[in-house]
Amino acid sequence: MTRLWRMLPLIVIAAVAPEAALLAHHSFATLYIEADTIEVEGDVVEFQYKNPHSWIFVQGHEGFGRDKIYAGEWTSTSQLERMGIPKTFFHVGDSVHIWASPSRDPNDNRVRLKRIERRSDGWKWGGNRGDTR
């Protein structure tokens, strides 16, 4: 009986872990309005190179001219690496133009990145192909 009690936590973790993984990965359509696209011009304030999705934070302007930081959800680090985008690719202050799907919650600053251009060197990602060009 004692052995069963020691194994109980492992049994619970084994039963719950697959469900937690499924909940962690979401459909973008549940969070973002995929049919809409907003454009933001601004400066990078942070680049989080992490899984399951990397994030780029851009300080841009809302429609009424107020500054707002947009949190752009991107793709995984392994996909970025395959596209030649290392964790040091973006720097604070880089001027960018992004195209993104807005959040379904109008009070949420998260967007799903569809396309991005960096002004300093003309680098581009996204559009129809979803890769660097």
pLDDT digits (tens, 9 = 90+) for 26-47: 566 678 999 999 999 999 999 9
A 10 A CB-CB count for 80 gives 19
d(CA 89, CA 47): 9
In a domain, 112, yes or no: yes
In a domain, 17, yes or no: no
In a domain, 36, yes or no: yes
Helix (H, G, I), strand (E, B) or coil at 107: coil
In a domain, 127, yes or no: no
Phi first, then psi, for residue 124 (nearest 5°) are -135, 145
DSSP codes of every residue in 32-80: B-TT--EEEEEEEEEEE--SS--EEEEEEE-TTS-EEEEEEE---HHHH
Task: Count the domains in the chain.
Answer: 1
pLDDT digits (tens, 9 = 90+) for 46-94: 999 999 999 999 999 766 677 899 999 999 999 999 999 999 999 999 9
In a domain, 133, yes or no: no
**Residues contacting 76, CB < 8 A, separation 6+:** 51, 52, 53, 54
Domain holding 46: CATH number?
2.40.50.140
In a domain, 132, yes or no: no
Range of the domain at 79: 28-119
The residue type at 30: T
